[in-house]
Structure 1
Amino acid sequence: MNKILIKNALIVTMNNRRDIFKGDILIEGDRIKEMSPKLEMEADTVIDATGKTVIPGMIQTHIHLTQTLYRGQADDLELLDWLKQRVWPLEGSHTAESNYVSAKLGIAELIKGGTTSIIDMGTVNHSDSIFEAIEESGFRAISGKCMMDYGIGVPDTLMEDTNESIKESERLLKKWHGKANNRIQYAFAPRFVVSCTEELLVKVRDLSKEYGVMVHTHASENRGEIELVQRDRGMRNVLYLDKLGMTGDQLILAHCIWLDDEEMKILAATGTKISHCPNSNLKLASGIAKIPELLEMNASVSIAADGAPCNNNLDIFKEMRSAALIQKARLLSPTVMPAHKVFELATIGGAQAMGMEKELGSLEVGKKADIVILDLNKIHCSPSDEVDVVSRIVYSADACDVDTTIIDGKIVMKNRELLTLSEKEIMEDSNRLVKQQIQLANVKK
């Protein structure tokens, strides 16, 4: 069994005691075997992390790998125009090749930025391509085919028959769920209430319970969306999902900005997972979610970047910083959303959202070896002495400070060089394919 020994690191464990110490970590196979101030043993690979900081692999709970190819193609629009005018036509133009390259482009960026796990929503077609990219790259993801069988403005290329949508989702689940040493898991992914019939949502609810998998969707992101749901279904978004019996710890809702008090109580009481996407919400002018209030109610919250066309990057360091700063400005209180709480959302909170808190989110013996090594010896992170390391990570660090990324006990990036993906090839393919896809989609800026 392959062994990796990380030596002489500052280790930020995120265990229950929040221990931080200088020491060594032994990885054996896909697990953390030992952690100690000093380990003397042989290993297949020894990484000298002197002067560096080791953290748990970070987790983003709402990503669209299918959209990464379309970075910069839908700027300066509000959500519904962004979808109808640009993103839906572009997603509908995907070929198997373009969706595969889009996923690899996103995964490469995520690995280089210290994200080791995601919850992903694909598009309607060519979903196998995304799973193939996840499997080949060594990445960890819960992903699912986007489901859309209703709605004004949905292009023909994305509009599905309800039964066919369910049938294809079940096929993908049976093919991919639990594959690659359980690095790949499946989630049903109805896009949002606006583009899904009640029949589809009820079937998804029942199938998620039958198969024991998550449901991943959007909710209450935009005031226009809320108005559409109210007019169409006769009640607000979260109330409607709760009426259908969809709320609970198997459901993850992206955004949750425009919630009333009753909806906030429902999400907290049912254990429904909330994925906070601060920079996407800012860029689309959707609003600012009431995250401190939700946390005060013991709601389950994690963070994510959303998709490249509405952000325009997948950098969790930027998300952490924004998650902290926007709440301080909103509530005019510098003490809300402190650095340690935000870092929890990016690690432990993400693991809880995935239902994998016993496997991920902290560095502890027996847990999966999803580990990131940071080099914070940079001008923008200095001075280092007498500075809280978690505050440095949240407020000063960025993606370029990630030195090495390990997923499932395998080194997927070392010294900032990707080992399972070709960065040059991905960039060349992306530049070639985006021109093709814009022509296929027939969209104009």
Structure 2
Amino acid sequence: MSRRIIIKDALIVTMNQQRQVIRGDLAICDGVISSIRPGGDLDSVGESSPASDRQTAFFADRIIDAQGRMVIPGIIQGHIHLCQTLFRGQADDLELLDWLKLRIWPLEGAHDAESLYTSACLGIGEMFRCGTTAIVDMATVHHTESVFQAIVDSGIRALSGKCMMDRGQDVPVTLMEQREESLRESVDLLEKWHGKGDGRLHYAFAPRFAISCSEELLLEVGDLARRYGVMIHTHASESRGEIAIVQEERKMRNVLYFDHLGMAGDNLILAHCIWLDEAELDLIEQRRIKVSHCPSCNLKLGSGVAPIPELIRRNVAVSIGADGAPCNNNLDPFTEMRTAALIQKALHGPTAMPAWQVFELATLGGAQVMGMADRIGSLEVGKRADLAMLDLNHLHCAPIEGADVYTQLVYQARGSDVVLTMVDGRIVYEEGKLTTIDEKDLLRDASEAIVRVVRRAGIVR
């Protein structure tokens, strides 16, 4: 039986090719946007509706009054670690490699299946509250099915995969894998979970980064990704220390090394890409590699500022992500958009990274990075109904009359301004309440889980 929803009298930021901002109605049928009609006339919901306009309005299962509110495409976060949400506040004021070796790797290795499910739900719930509808996630080495189950249960759209680590200095025994076992488990997970959740979950091979993966493993990953037609998601050029190790061990820089292994292509997503030289920039452009920008994380770890304006100038697909909670402390995409804009202005002047461009990265850019631009990233007839609704009638946004919508969204809005989040036409958050996650139970489970994980990890604060 079909399910119809009409969002009535909203200010709709479409992000379509014409970048139209329309005041009117948006109709959804079975998870797909079936009509966008200017004018706010509920009895007239668009020529693309399968029934007559008046019949569609009459038979709608639900009509949502959005008067005075703004509807935007769901925010797409291009780099997240759901497995780390539980570790918020456990690894502050450290440089990247120390952050990993002293805190994050031991904590990840101490996860059990239940704590990992809790961590994933914690991150998803926070992002739903802030209007995020899709993510590119990297799980940890073990218990990946717990993350996948949380993704399916909650209803978020995700590109995710098991983290792969078969070498590296100071990698704890709890995370170190044998190459063949890592590859076999990754393929098994792909074959079981890819396409689950009514197609919302897509698998990506996820070797952590070059210094924690053998060359043999990375070669196999490239071959398997081509064979199965899926993405590869990894980290690259996040810190000078990481690059120095890659150069010493592999005799070339990150992006050139991935190209040398045959991994560089339009199915490769590289998180961070802060310290790129000219040859790497050229390769990213030529091979159509995707980049995920994590501004707050890069500042908090002291890693640096990625050359995003240059990547955009080269027509590289760029998304924005919060990264993991312990290297950011919040997963609010509005914080990331504002930070992404401001840090480039300090380097390149006030006209760099204008608000409209930043909002593109958080929506259309994320869709391009995920390889899903034909389905998500904008509000258009035929696309999936992934969207968020905001109420900007607050002191920190006032006055809103006549203000540019992208300025409002990037510089003024906060995650707390989101009043509804929808994925595939399903409401997952509305008016202060998560609808697919029990928030009270989740908070209790998180408090219990972090105690046993920290104890198991043997970390002394």
Tell me the TM-score normalised to structure 1 length: 0.99
Q: Which consecutive aligned stretches of 4+ in structure 1 deviate over 6 angstroms post-superposition?
A: none
Residue from 352, 356, 371 that aligns with 2:387: 371
The one-letter amino acid of 1:395's match is Y
Task: Name 1:131's counterpart in structure 2.
Answer: 148
Displacement of 1:225 in angstroms is 0.1
Any gaps of 5 or more consecutive residues in structure 2? 44-56
Q: Deviations over 1:394-444 (max 9, x none)?
A: 000010000000101111111121100011111111011101100000012
1:275-424 matched pairs, under 5 angstroms: 275-331=292-348, 333-424=349-440
Q: Secondary structure at the match of 2:197?
A: helix
- The correspondence for 2:173, drawn from 134, 156, 165, is 156
Query: What secondary structure does 1:128 align onto?
Result: helix
Residue identity matched to 1:338: P
Give, in whole Å, the separation in 1 of the partners of 2:287 and 2:88: 35
Give the match's secondary structure for 2:198.
helix
CA distance in 2, matches of 1:48, 1:232: 59
User: Does structure 1 residue 428 correspond to structure 2 residue 444?
Assistant: yes
Letter of the 2:311 partner, please give it: L
Number of residues of Structure 1 aligned to a counterpart in Structure 2:
444
Aligned-pair CA distance for 1:390: 1.2
- Match for residue 248 of structure 1? 265
Task: Give the structure 2 partner of residue 439 of structure 1.
Answer: 455
Listed as ranges, the gaps of 5+ residues in structure 1 are none
Task: Determine the C-alpha separation between the residues in 2 that align with 1:426 and 1:399.
Answer: 20
CA distance in 1, matches of 2:402, 2:155: 37
Mapping for residues 64-79 of structure 1, pairs under 5 Å: 64-79=81-96
Secondary structure in 1 matching 2:377: coil
Q: Does 1:212 align with 2:229?
A: yes
For 1:251 and 1:39, the matched residues in 2 are separated by 44
Distance in 2 (CA, whole Å) between partners of 1:434 and 1:423 is 16
SS of the residue 1:381 aligns to = coil
Residue 411 of structure 1 aligns with an amino acid whose one-letter code is I
Residue 384 of structure 1, CA deviation? 0.4
Rounded Cα–Cα distance in structure 1 between residues aligned with 2:154 and 2:339: 29
Of 235, 253, 278, 2:252 maps to 235
| Aligned pairs (5 A) from 1:138-217 | 138-217=155-234
Partner residue, 1:81: 98
Query: Helix, strand or coil for the counterpart of 2:309?
Result: helix
Distance, in Å, in 2 between the alignment partners of 1:215 and 1:371 is 26
Q: Deviations over 1:129-150 (max 9, x none)?
A: 0000011111110100000000
Q: Quick one: distance in 1 between partners of 2:252 and 2:434?
A: 48
Verify the 8 A CA contact 1:65 1:130 in the aligned structure 2.
yes
**Whole-Å separation in 2 of the counterparts to 1:428 and 1:198:** 42
Amino acid of the residue matched to residue 144 of structure 2? S
2:4 maps to amino acid:
K
The residue identity in structure 2 corresponding to 1:8 is D
Shift of 1:30: 1.2
Q: Does 1:4 find its partner at 2:13?
A: no
Q: Distance in 2 between matches of 1:341 and 1:168?
A: 39
* Match of residue 94, structure 1, among 111, 125, 133: 111
Q: Does 1:58 align with 2:75?
A: yes
RMSD: 0.6
SS of aligned partner of 2:42: coil
> Matches of 1:425 and 1:128 in 2, distance apart?
21
How far does the alpha carbon of each residue in 1:217-238 deviate from its partner, in whole angstroms, 9 at most, with x for none? 0000000000000000001111
What TM-score results when the alignment is normalised by the length of structure 2?
A: 0.96
What code does the residue aligned with 1:39 have? L
In 2, the alpha carbon distance for the partners of 1:77 and 1:70 equals: 14
Counterpart Cα distance in 2 of 1:143 and 1:300:
19
- Alignment partner of 2:429: what SS? strand
**Aligned match of 1:110 in 127, 136, 141?**
127
**Alpha-carbon distance, 1:180 to partner:** 1.5
Cα pair 1:60 1:119 within 8 Å, conserved? yes
How far is 1:356 from its partner?
0.5
Q: Deviations over 1:17-71 (max 9, x none)?
A: 0000100011000100111023311210110000000000010011000000000
Offset at residue 294 of structure 1 (A)? 1.2
Following TM superposition, by how much is the alpha carbon of 1:299 offset from its aligned partner in structure 2, in angstroms?
1.4
Mapped partners of 2:413, 2:440: distance in 1: 25
Q: 1 CA distance for matches of 2:432 and 2:399?
A: 23
Contact 1:269 1:299 in 2 (8 A): no
Whether the aligned pair in 2 keeps the contact of 1:190 and 1:201 (CA below 8 Å) is yes
8 Å contact from structure 1 (residues 7, 48) kept in 2: yes
Give me the whole-angstrom Cα distance separating, in 2, the residues matched to 1:219 and 1:410.
Answer: 35
Aligned partners of 2:432 and 2:5: how far apart in 1?
A: 18
Cα deviation, 1:267-321, whole Å, max 9, x if unaligned, reads: 0111100000000000000000011011111111111000000001111000000
- Partner AA of 1:61 in structure 2: G
Q: Which amino acid aligns with 1:2?
A: R
| Counterpart amino acid of residue 367 in structure 1 | K
Q: Is the 8 A contact 1:303 1:345 kept in 2?
A: yes
Shift of 1:367: 0.2
SS of 1:153's equivalent in the other structure is: coil
Aligned to 2:34: 33
Identity %: 59
